Amino acid sequence: MKRLVIHDGEKTSRTISSLDDDALAILTPTPAACPALEVLEMHNCFLISDAALLRLITSRMESASKLKRVQVTFTREMTLDILPPLQPFIKNGLDISVVHTSTQRFPVHFSPWEGLSDASNF
């Protein structure tokens, strides 16, 4: 697989993120899933840390099969600017876009009445 696109839910208050640092570590080499991966797109990420993304990209760029393009959108504020450490890879052709937006997705409120046919009575 050369291209992987992941959408981590929609931007709603009821969405629970499932893509986190542990899931991202699976794509980190030694040995990695998707050894021929060249393009990685991840959208609506909330639980992935900037540090984990930096580790993934750095590890991939230092392996035999390098990333050519990375596009990530976060639905949270930036905690670490990963672009300065990636400058050597960017100068060598890595196309990268990392966008942080502050869309609040938590807390999630579930109603015990949700989904019941007569829920409008409560």
Which segments within 46-94 are labelled E, that is strand? Answer: 69-74
Choose from 8-12, 36-40, 62-66 the range with maximum mean pLDDT: 36-40
Does residue 21 fall inside a structural domain?
Answer: yes
Q: Are 35 and 1 in contact (CB under 8 A)?
A: no
Does residue 74 fall inside a structural domain?
Answer: yes
Give the helix/strand (H/E) hosting 97: strand 95-100
Q: Are 24 and 56 in contact (CB under 8 A)?
A: yes
Q: Are 44 and 7 in contact (CB under 8 A)?
A: yes
The total of structural domains in the chain comes to 1
Q: Are 58 and 85 in contact (CB under 8 A)?
A: yes
Does residue 65 fall inside a structural domain?
Answer: yes
What pTM does this model have? Answer: 0.76
Q: How confident is the model at residue 70 (pLDDT cuts 50, 70, 90)?
A: very high
Does residue 121 fall inside a structural domain?
Answer: no
79-121: pLDDT as tens digits: 999 999 999 999 999 999 999 987 555 555 566 766 677 655 5
Q: Closest Cα partner for 122 from 112, 14, 107, 109? A: 112
Which is higher by pLDDT, 35 or 2? 2
Average pLDDT, the chain: 84
Taking residues 48-71, what's their average pLDDT? 93
Q: How far apart are CA 74 and CA 54, in angstroms?
A: 14
Q: Closest Cα partner for 5 from 76, 79, 69, 95? A: 69
Does residue 52 fall inside a structural domain?
Answer: yes
Does residue 66 fall inside a structural domain?
Answer: yes
Domain of 54 in residue numbering reads as 3-104
Q: Closest Cα partner for 72 from 119, 23, 4, 26? A: 4
